[in-house]
Amino acid sequence: MSVDVCAVVLAAGEGRRLRPLTEHLPKALCPVGNVPLLDRALERVRYHGLDTAVNACYLGHLVAAHVGDRAHLSVEPGDPLGTAGGLGLLRDWIGGRGVLVGNADAYLATEGLAPGADIAALLENWDGETARLLGVPGPPHEFGGHRFAGFSLLPWDLVKDLEPEPSDLVRLAWRPAERQGRLEVVEYPGTYLDTGTPADYLAANLHAVHQKELVAEDAVVTGALDGAVIGAGAHVAGRVHRGVVWPGGVVTAGETLTDAIRVGRSLTVPAH
């Protein structure tokens, strides 16, 4: 690839469908397999050695503290600007480059491939003019027979006129490119989940641990686990069946957590 490309990881959204989990953490920081979603996205783009920015808005101070100096940070004032507005605010930073855009909440995994290697086809032999989307077979059939799978690659000419105002890439970039005959869908070879609902969030966690168990080193587990992700500092004396216990969470003796996410001592979010 001879075209200069940077990366932007979108982490500004509220994650409304994931409430009440996102009343405690922005969706980008919700852990999957005990790794924040944002860290998974950063690992994926850093695999390609790309100069990277992260945008933040909802609970932005938490995102900013988590990112630190690992990426350029763009904090949106007021309400989230959406996917296109977020890029509009970063337009000067992008500065004429192509941009790999990834949703922080996209869970992607391909057996046998490192994170980042699995999206290499988006970047290979890119001409700098075609817009590319990562896709998985639908439904819903959003782009031909595919639905969007969290990452896209945009040429500068589709970014240079974006404004820092509420707007989305579907309307302002992808559909215009599609009408012009320069939108290419690159099929993703693995598993994609958008983690937007408690059900998909739980499914991503269980997929990340191969439907088995993952226990953080400093978690204390005296109960029974059957398909579970147990976070740092958690205490599990009861049973967890197909569940996630967030860092510091508690499942008491005699209690069974099934198809659900536990936050703290008492917040249980059913995955249905």
pLDDT digits (tens, 9 = 90+) for 210-228: 999 999 999 999 999 999 9
The residue assigned the tokens 């005959």 is: 181
The predicted structure's pLDDT at residue 272: 83
- Considering just the CA atoms, what is the radius of gyration of the chain in Å? 19
The predicted structure's pLDDT at residue 1: 52
Contact, 259 vs 211, CB < 8 A? no
Q: 5-193 belongs to which CATH class?
A: alpha beta
Domain ranges for the chain: 5-193, 209-270
Length of the chain: 272
> What's the pLDDT tens digit per position in 77-129?
989 999 999 999 999 999 999 999 999 999 999 988 999 999 999 999 999 99
pLDDT band at 14 (very low <50, low <70, confident <90, very high): confident
Q: What is the mean pLDDT of residues 70-75?
A: 96
What are the residue ranges of helices labelled H in 5-158? Answer: 37-46, 60-67, 82-89, 91-94, 120-123
**What is the rounded distance in angstroms from the CA atom of residue 252 to the CA atom of residue 265?**
8
Amino acid code (one letter) for 90? L
Nearest 10 degrees: CA dihedral of 68, 69, 70, 72? 100
The predicted structure's pLDDT at residue 91: 96
Q: What is the pTM of this model?
A: 0.94
Query: For residue 137, what are its two tokens?
Result: 């077979």
The predicted structure's pLDDT at residue 103: 96
